[in-house]
Amino acid sequence: MTTPDVAAGQPQPPGATRGFTPEAARRDVPVLHRTVNGRPLVWLDNGATTQKPRQVIEALTAFYAAANSNIHRGAHTMAREATQMYEAGRAAVAEFLGAPAPESIVFTRGTTEAINLVAQSWGRANLGPGDDVLVPVLEHHANIVPWQRIAKETRARVVPVPLRPDGSVDQDAYADLLSARTRLVVVSHASNVLGTVPPVREMTALAHRYRAKVLVDGAQAVAHFPVDVTDLDADFYTFSGHKIYAPTGIGALYARPEILQTMAPWQSGGNMIESVSFDRTTYAPVPHRFEAGTGHISGVAGLLAALNWLTAFDRAAVADYETSLTAYAQQALAQVPGLELLGPVAERIGVLTFTLPGRAPAEIADRLDGDGIAVRAGHHCAQPALAHYGLDAAARASLALYNTREEVDRLVASLLQLAVTGCAHRPASPAS
């Protein structure tokens, strides 16, 4: 069990920093040591969700074993402890993102809910007929559909920002599309299907010249490189805990404090009010007015532990390692006959989406699974990005800090086998 402090509400001391090696990270993550189909697991589905270090698992257990209570209500010790932990989690997220204050952080279920919150609250109040929302073609559906829906209601327009052939966001087209009509630009800090890392800082500065607001979807970024929302000058920034070694069902929205102050509540109920009567209801101050109902309290304990775990490593060393592993994987995959890798060569994260001639993506994933290698196949919730390449599906291997060159070698060996002989290393079934 971890220190009960995590669950009992004491912010974990920043912790002695640890020298980063992928092996050190792997040792902490129990599931990486299991087998799948008789082979040691190679988890290359980190873009979908990351695996959890024992520090996170133990924080959840410790919360329920020693500290479970609802928060912000109840005048007893455990309610106070749980509230303290929850608010320490908020402060940790603010620090992690370089946000100016904990009050600028709203806990959500994840990126999807955070974007919907902005669309429904800020969008409903600030978009109208003749307004444009600029959305790069590489966005995840979670950063397209909420804008389509609110644009329809408010009679604003969703304007796609095209990609260059290599999968980077066309900056010339972006500059041309910006105008006095632009109210909002949304952009991923890293693409979940092409790996592209757009020049978000520059895009934000340009958007601000037109007085447009900028929402950055950090779902695929925060685990891979340090983020500073103040330096980016983003108006909104979102991420999901489960993509950064924390539990599912918890995530966060950062909003520039002056903007958050002006936003009306989205969901309503308990926890978000100051007073309720049948004549007049008033709302709690930010950020609580955006957190209706009981939140994912244990999720915050897990998120706090995940952020402590990740930030105990030297983040620059983690980012450098992932960049070199990505370059290694790009070169290694190039040995597979016919394999086409999508996305730019540089300015990218380790999301490796590919096609193999004559092999359906689902078949590739299935064959790799037979070798204990988990990759994803399908449209990756980014159909416009795949359509840019004339595709409706592809296979995707996505890397994290605990992946190794040996694992990349196993991926490439299986793909070579599949490309050359038509089957991977799957052991023959008794019937065949």
Residues classed as catalytic: 381
Contact 342, 13 (CB under 8 A): no
Q: Which is nearer to ligand PLP, 110 or 198 (CB)?
A: 110
Decide if residue 69 touches ligand PLP (CB under 6 A): no
Decide if residue 140 touches ligand PLP (CB under 6 A): yes
Decide if residue 240 touches ligand PLP (CB under 6 A): yes
Burial 18-30 (b: 16+ CB within 10 A, else e): eebebeebbebbe
Tell me which residue of 197, 199, 193 sits closest to 385, measured CA to CA.
Answer: 193
* Part of the chain binding ligand PLP (CB under 6 A), chosen from 57-65, 79-87, 212-220, 418-426: 212-220
Please write down the HEC assignment for all residues of 244-263. HCCCCCCEEEEECHHHHHHC
Tell me which residue of 294, 322, 328, 303 sits closest to 402, measured CA to CA.
Answer: 322
Decide if residue 220 touches ligand PLP (CB under 6 A): yes
Residue 284, number of CB atoms within 10 A of its CB: 17
Residues 362-421 binding ligand PLP (CB under 6 A) are 381
Residue in 46, 51, 83, 112 binding ligand PLP, rule: CB under 6 A: 112
Closest distance between ligand PLP and the C-beta of residue 44, in Å? 15
Q: Which is nearer to ligand PLP, 114 or 297 (CB)?
A: 114
Q: Which is nearer to ligand PLP, 121 or 240 (CB)?
A: 240
Q: Which is nearer to ligand PLP, 220 or 403 (CB)?
A: 220
CA distance to 25, 357, 405, 407, per residue, from 424 (Å) = 29, 15, 19, 15
Residue in 67, 161, 212, 219 binding ligand PLP, rule: CB under 6 A: 219
Closest distance between ligand PLP and the C-beta of residue 119, in Å? 13
CA distance to 5, 13, 350, per residue, from 84 (Å) = 11, 14, 36
How far apart (Å, rounded) are the C-alpha atoms in residues 422 and 417? Answer: 7
Residue in 142, 305, 310, 349 binding ligand PLP, rule: CB under 6 A: 142
Give the residue ranges of DSSP H helices in 119-198.
Answer: 124-126, 145-154, 171-177
Closest distance between ligand PLP and the C-beta of residue 225, in Å? 14
| Cα angle: 213, vertex 217, 256; to 5 degrees | 40
Decide if residue 111 touches ligand PLP (CB under 6 A): yes
Instruction: Return the DSSP state at 33.
Output: G
Tell me the sheet residues that pair with 310.
none
Closest distance between ligand PLP and the C-beta of residue 220, in Å? 5
Which amino acid appears at position 30 of this protein? P
Contact 423, 417 (CB under 8 A): yes
Closest distance between ligand PLP and the C-beta of residue 110, in Å? 3
Q: Which is nearer to ligand PLP, 39 or 379 (CB)?
A: 379
Closest distance between ligand PLP and the C-beta of residue 194, in Å? 10
Contact 29, 364 (CB under 8 A): no
Closest distance between ligand PLP and the C-beta of residue 241, in Å? 8
* Part of the chain binding ligand PLP (CB under 6 A), chosen from 6-14, 216-224, 262-270, 386-394: 216-224
Q: How many of the chain's residues bind ligand PLP (CB under 6 A)?
A: 13
Closest distance between ligand PLP and the C-beta of residue 379, in Å? 12
* Part of the chain binding ligand PLP (CB under 6 A), chosen from 64-72, 107-115, 155-163, 168-176: 107-115
The interface mask with ligand PLP, positions 166-205, x = CB under 6 A, is ----------------------x---x-------------
Decide if residue 110 touches ligand PLP (CB under 6 A): yes
Tokens (6 digits) for 98: 């370089």
Q: Which is nearer to ligand PLP, 26 or 189 (CB)?
A: 189
* Part of the chain binding ligand PLP (CB under 6 A), chosen from 136-144, 173-181, 263-271, 330-338: 136-144
* Part of the chain binding ligand PLP (CB under 6 A), chosen from 128-136, 160-168, 196-204, 214-222: 214-222
Tell me which residue of 245, 311, 331 sits closest to 58, measured CA to CA.
Answer: 245
| Distance from the first to the final alpha carbon of the chain | 47
Burial 200-209 (b: 16+ CB within 10 A, else e): beebbebbee
* Part of the chain binding ligand PLP (CB under 6 A), chosen from 84-92, 138-146, 259-267, 270-278: 138-146
Q: Which residues contact 23 (CB under 8 A, 6 or more apart)?
A: 404
Q: Which parts of this chain interact with ligand PLP (CB under 6 A)?
A: 110-112, 140, 142-143, 188, 192, 217, 219-220, 240, 381
